[in-house]
């Protein structure tokens, strides 16, 4: 039976209310769109029109979960609303409190960086506990960003002495030899996502200083051959574009007191047709080793524009 449902949040402050419903009521509109119901807000009360028991309960769970975020004076985003709706529709607990309590770093401006989804939380915990972590998943799941944030945090805490960032130089059939400039100028365009995260944490000037000192090293994967990386936090990005031989070479660079994080999206492989991805190969071979975690993120972990998740899901269904 459908009815009008009122959900009151007694004691909510004006600032918390603004955070909860969003700028220009964007969160409220997103909540309405998620459930296909007309939802209004006034005097700390949400009113849901034409709502049956199941949908009313789900909407109530979402609102209370988001309110816990607002009570901590943290901004509630449209992505938070969509993620909460997605979980309750699957009868899963939202658990924003656990996510918000897992801070892995702070940006230069003081903003806290924390996982936004359960998949991201599992990724962060794996990086804290395991020597080698594979994070395999689609675009927008925060793989690269979280890995770099964790690396910088580990460097600041003295857990490692340097950060090594690398990726295979494979991009839409281009060859580094055909690009202008020295090696750094050739490689830099491929590493923009890594630089973005470094700049968020350290700023442009400090990042450049640490690169000049060698505390942060950014290089193509070929430069890893013949090395042993001790006391390092090593990130291999875009690992789907490695060959099995390159992946084996990289993994065997692991030194004492070091951690490795390998990220990639197996739906975006740019290798020549017939060449097996080293990321897929490693995931098949290395399962069952206690010191290694192989984590698969999904469209549920996408933290970009909501349309990105829809695009990913459509592509997944078409395969």
pLDDT class of 174 with cuts at 50, 70, 90: very low
Place of tokens 């990724």: 123
Q: Domains in the chain, ordered, with CATH? A: 3-100 (3.30.1370.10), 105-318 (3.40.50.300)
46 Cβ contact partners less than 8 Å away, ≥ 6 residues apart? 6, 7, 8, 9, 39, 40, 59, 63
Instruction: Give the pairing of strands 105-106 and 3-8.
Output: unpaired
Are 93 and 81 within 8 A, CB to CB?
no
125 Cβ contact partners less than 8 Å away, ≥ 6 residues apart? 102
Are 62 and 31 within 8 A, CB to CB?
yes
pLDDT on residue 173 = 43
Are 280 and 255 within 8 A, CB to CB?
no
Tell me which of 171 and 305 has the higher pLDDT.
305
Q: Report the percentage of the chain scoring pLDDT > 70.
A: 90
Tell me which of 303 and 220 has the higher pLDDT.
220
Cα–Cα distance, 185 to 179 (Å, whole number): 9
pLDDT on residue 2 = 64
Cα–Cα distance, 12 to 300 (Å, whole number): 30
- Average pLDDT of 158-168? 93
pLDDT class of 195 with cuts at 50, 70, 90: confident
Strongest mean pLDDT among 111-125, 146-160, 174-188: 146-160
Place of tokens 């975020």: 69
pLDDT class of 172 with cuts at 50, 70, 90: very low
- Kindly report, residue by residue over 42-71, the tens digit of the pLDDT: 889 999 988 888 888 999 999 988 888 888
The tokens describing 190, both together, are: 């491929």
pLDDT class of 170 with cuts at 50, 70, 90: low
Residue 203 has pLDDT above 50, yes or no: yes
pLDDT on residue 163 = 96
DSSP per-residue letters across the chain: --EEEEEE-TT--HHHHHHHH-GGGHHHHHHHHHHT--EEEETTEEEEEEE-HHHHHHHHHHHHHHHHHHHTTPPPPHHHHHHHHHHHHTT----HHHHHT---EE-TT--EE---SHHHHHHHHHHHH-SEEEEE--TTS-HHHHHHHHHHHHHHTTS-SEEEEEE---BTTB-GGGS-SSHHHHHGGGGHHHHHHHHHHH-HHHHHHHHHHTSEEEEEGGGGTT--B-SEEEEE-SGGGS-HHHHHHHHTTB-TT-EEEEEE-TTS--SPTTPPPHHHHHHHHSTT-TTEEEEE--GGG--S-HHHHHHHHHHHHH-
- Average pLDDT of 225-230? 88
- Kindly report, residue by residue over 230-275, the tens digit of the pLDDT: 999 999 999 999 999 999 999 999 999 999 999 999 989 989 888 9
- Average pLDDT of 168-187? 57
pLDDT on residue 120 = 92
pLDDT on residue 319 = 65
CA angle 92, 95, 97 (to 5 degrees): 175
Cα–Cα distance, 2 to 160 (Å, whole number): 58
Cα–Cα distance, 201 to 193 (Å, whole number): 13
Residue 171 has pLDDT above 70, yes or no: no
Summary mean pLDDT of the chain = 86
pLDDT class of 121 with cuts at 50, 70, 90: very high
pLDDT on residue 292 = 97
- Kindly report, residue by residue over 283-301, the tens digit of the pLDDT: 999 999 999 999 999 888 8
């Amino acid at each position: 039976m459908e009815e009008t449902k009122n959900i009151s949040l007694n004691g909510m402050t004006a600032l918390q209310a603004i955070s909860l419903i969003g700028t220009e009521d964007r969160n409220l509109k997103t909540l309405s769109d998620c459930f296909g119901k007309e939802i209004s807000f006034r005097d700390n009360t949400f009113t849901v029109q034409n709502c049956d028991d199941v949908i009313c309960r789900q909407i109530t769970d979402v609102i209370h979960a988001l309110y816990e975020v607002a009570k901590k004076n943290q901004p509630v985003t449209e992505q938070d609303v969509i993620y909460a709706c997605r979980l309750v529709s699957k009868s899963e607990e939202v658990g924003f409190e656990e996510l918000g309590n897992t801070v892995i770093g702070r940006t230069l401006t003081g903003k806290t960086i924390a996982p936004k989804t359960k998949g991201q939380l599992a990724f962060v915990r794996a990086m804290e506990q395991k020597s080698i972590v594979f994070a395999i998943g689609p675009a927008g799941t925060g793989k690269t960003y979280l890995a770099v944030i964790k690396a910088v945090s580990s460097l600041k805490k003295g857990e490692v002495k340097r950060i090594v960032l690398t990726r295979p130089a494979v991009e839409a059939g281009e060859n580094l030899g055909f690009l202008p400039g020295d090696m750094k100028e050739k490689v830099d365009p491929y590493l923009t996502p890594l630089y973005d995260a470094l700049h968020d944490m350290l700023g442009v000037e400090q990042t450049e200083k640490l690169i000049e000192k060698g505390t942060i090293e950014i290089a193509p994967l070929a430069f890893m051959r013949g090395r042993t990386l001790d006391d390092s936090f090593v990130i291999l990005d875009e690992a789907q574009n490695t060959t099995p031989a390159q992946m084996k070479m990289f993994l065997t660079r692991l030194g004492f007191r070091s951690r490795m994080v390998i990220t990639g999206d197996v739906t975006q492989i740019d290798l020549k047709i017939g060449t097996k991805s080293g990321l897929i190969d490693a995931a098949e071979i290395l399962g069952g080793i206690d010191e290694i975690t192989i984590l698969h993120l999904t469209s549920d972990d996408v933290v970009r524009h909501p349309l990105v998740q829809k695009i990913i899901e459509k592509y997944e269904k078409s395969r």
